[in-house]
A and B are shown apart, each in its own frame.
Chain A
Amino acid sequence: MTSMRDWMIWPDNIVLSVLVLVLIAMVGLYAVRAPMHGIIRTAAYALATALRLAARWLFAAAAAMKERNKAVLLAQGRREVGQRIEREFERVGILVTRDLQGYPVLQRKLLEAITRIEEDYKKCGEVPPPPPDWVEAVAAVAQIKSGGGEVVEKILDEIRQSVGRIHEKALGEYRRAYEERHDILEGALPFWRSIDATLKQVDKKMSDLAENAETVDEQMKKYRQIAAKTDEAESILSHSAFTQFNIAVIVLTIALGGAFVNFKLIALPMSEMVGAGDYITASLRTSEVAALVIILVEASMGLFLMEALRITHLFPRISNLSDRARRRMIWISLTLLVILASVEAALALMRDMLIADKQALLQSLAATAPAASSEGWVGRIPTAGQMVLGFILPFALAFVAIPLESFIHSARNIGGSMLADLIRMLGFALRVLGNLTRHLGRLLVHFYDLLVVLPLMVEHLVKSLRGGRAAVSRRRLDSTGELKS
């Protein structure tokens, strides 16, 4: 084994030995200075180039991924908005069909009412016959002087009496005519009201239609933006995806809580069916796995039910089934769900019985008086509660399909977006590292020169001396005029 002293030229004088060794090393390093500079520069350049290339590739990959994410996001958005527009059109269609179906009746009703009112109006316009022409004759008779004698007076009196009678008759006719017109007008009142109500109805339907049309317009605007692949549409959809993701995560967490309660309800009684001492792995009991499987089967049935009802669209094959097959599927999954829920309710009851049995055993082993159990319906509340929970939870779990679909769709966008960001960050880090490597190469070159500073100084001195002599000789040549630089 070599020690430091073996390297010493003069073991007794370490300082001098080290100094000489350093000088030798300096000379050696100076001798290989140029190739070493080359090696350092080449290595740094190669590494920096590789890193920059990798960074550029990552940036390109991130850009491609972003583009792909955008395409997926826009496609999803287009599909969703398209479905919404479709639904709105369906709604408008139903509204229009329903109202247009009733429109001829409505129109007939309106026309009848208007005709009736017109007739009544015309009837109201019928004036009683004008007073007869003999009025003028009466006026002439009235101008006859009464001093004509008894006969004339008698005649005049008879004329007056008959005119009075005629007048009363005419007046009565006028009154009757006006009464009739009032009656007609009174009779027209319900028709006016009916027209008013009908018009209001029409107005309401028209405003509903207008509202729907507005919604369709909004959706169409959104659809156009998506189709145009605008940044605004992407931003809105991306924001919507984040919101959907968060909501789906919250709801799924709640559903997981429900599933855990469900699991606790059936894990113990399942041991009565598949045995409590059977293990699948060192710490995983078969009964627990069986309980978990039942819960997962329930969730799957719920998923199929939602798919068959076309509430979710995770399996295109199911939604593309014929209506008859879909209806069959609805009934099958619903029946299975009901059966599983009933099994769970029974298991919940069994769990209560097992716990009670175990409790009784422990009490008998502890030789203590049994705890006073609450008799009657109060004592049965927990059992009933467990059974109800056991029956309801599978149906509640069935609805997990809806947030699950949202989660899956939004997770694709969120995950893709995060991955693209991650790749971009990695690319940035590689680019920084590449630049650092390049600068490190330069730094190493300078550091190498620092190690051979003394030979370099000598070199500079020699060069400057040579340079000085050359300058002096050039000046001399200039002064003689023989040579000009």
Chain B
Amino acid sequence: MNRRALWASLVILGLAVAAAGCVDPRSQSHAVYVLIDTSGTYAREAGKAQLIINYLLGTLQPGDSLAVARVQSRSFTEKDIIAKAIFDQRPSQANAQKRAFREKTDAFLRTVQGSAYTDITGGMIQGAEFLNETGAGKKTILVFSDMQEELDKVTIRNFPISLKNIRVIAVNVVKLNTDNIDPRRYLGRLEAWQKRVEGAGASEWKVINDLERLDAIFAKS
């Protein structure tokens, strides 16, 4: 009887440990995809993007993922990813990766050149693909742009996209000259993006223009 009870206890303990061990480590990690708009006049703002990248490098933990990509005339391509990393589980290795990541993005931002068109949608689709591949529990696309999409005649982006369970945060959405003339254009642009992003299944849409409060990126709304 005692032996049976012992075996039962062992089995229960084993099951409990197995159940506890079943938590997928990736489900607790965070993946961030940063889109940097390099088109037209917004290319001048690229320097500020470094602030965001630095903040992310300082905040993301070992096991998290980070990718930085530029938004060009057509951005649905891996070639536009400037740097990407899945940080090592060991903090010391992760720190080394972060240093290398920073050097890579620094080099890119020093030599950034403006593009003719702005394909934000293509960048988002690419970002969603990357984030879904990481299998992270929390997925975020940061769009460093004025959110003014301009496509050439050949590029097709007017179809439904999927951003399921992805948070989309627009950062440093500067006002254009035309926005200053008619602010409704700016507000309308943001509203249209919100509608599109939420329609694509995004879990959250947020706009952060004040780069002093970047902590709002990871804050729950």
A276 and B60 alpha carbons, distance in the complex (Å): 12
Mark the stretch among B90-98, B110-118, B147-155 that contacts chain A.
Answer: B90-98
Q: Is the CB of B91 within 8 A of A366?
A: no
User: Smallest distance from the beta carbon of A360 to chain B beta carbons, Å?
Assistant: 8
Q: Is the CB of A364 within 8 A of B102?
A: yes
The answer to whether A361 and B95 touch (CB under 8 A), given A272-B90, A281-B23, is yes
Task: Say yes or no: is B109 at the interface (Cβ < 8 Å to chain A).
Answer: no
Q: Is the interface of B mostly helix, strand, loop or mixed?
A: helix
Q: Is the CB of A277 within 8 A of B89?
A: yes
Name the B residues within 8 Å of A275 (CB-CB). Answer: 25, 62-63, 89-90
Name the B residues within 8 Å of A364 (CB-CB). Answer: 99, 102
Counting residue pairs across A and B whose Cβ atoms lie within 8 Å, the total is 67
Name the A residues within 8 Å of B64 (CB-CB). Answer: 277
Task: Say yes or no: is B172 at the interface (Cβ < 8 Å to chain A).
Answer: no
Question: Nearest A residue to B50 by beta-carbon distance?
Answer: A367
A 272-313 binary contact with B (CB < 8 Å = 1; else 0): 100111111110000000000000000000000000000000
Name the A residues within 8 Å of B99 (CB-CB). Answer: 361, 364
B 79-95 binary contact with A (CB < 8 Å = 1; else 0): 00000000001111011
A275 and B63 alpha carbons, distance in the complex (Å): 8
Q: Is the CB of A358 within 8 A of B95?
A: yes
Task: Say yes or no: is B28 at the interface (Cβ < 8 Å to chain A).
Answer: yes
Name the B residues within 8 Å of A357 (CB-CB). Answer: 91-92, 95
Name the A residues within 8 Å of B94 (CB-CB). Answer: 276
Of A268, A275, A279, A280, most B-chain CB atoms within 10 Å: A279
Task: Say yes or no: is A250 at the interface (Cβ < 8 Å to chain B).
Answer: no
Q: Chain A interface: which size bin? A: 20 to 34
User: Smallest distance from the beta carbon of A261 to chain B beta carbons, Å?
Assistant: 21
A458 and B163 alpha carbons, distance in the complex (Å): 86
The answer to whether A277 and B28 touch (CB under 8 A), given A271-B62, A364-B99, A365-B102, is yes
The answer to whether A268 and B102 touch (CB under 8 A), given A277-B25, A281-B20, A365-B57, is no
Task: Say yes or no: is A339 at the interface (Cβ < 8 Å to chain B).
Answer: no
The answer to whether A272 and B92 touch (CB under 8 A), given A277-B61, A277-B64, A279-B28, is yes
The answer to whether A365 and B89 touch (CB under 8 A), given A277-B64, A279-B23, A358-B95, is no
**B residues bordering A, Cβ < 8 Å?**
20-21, 23, 25, 27-29, 54-55, 57-58, 61-64, 89-92, 94-95, 98-99, 102
Known: A272-B90, A275-B25. 6 other contacts (CB 8 A): A268-B91, A276-B62, A276-B91, A277-B63, A279-B27, A280-B20
Closest 8 CB pairs of A and B: A277-B63, A275-B89, A276-B62, A365-B54, A279-B28, A278-B25, A277-B89, A361-B95
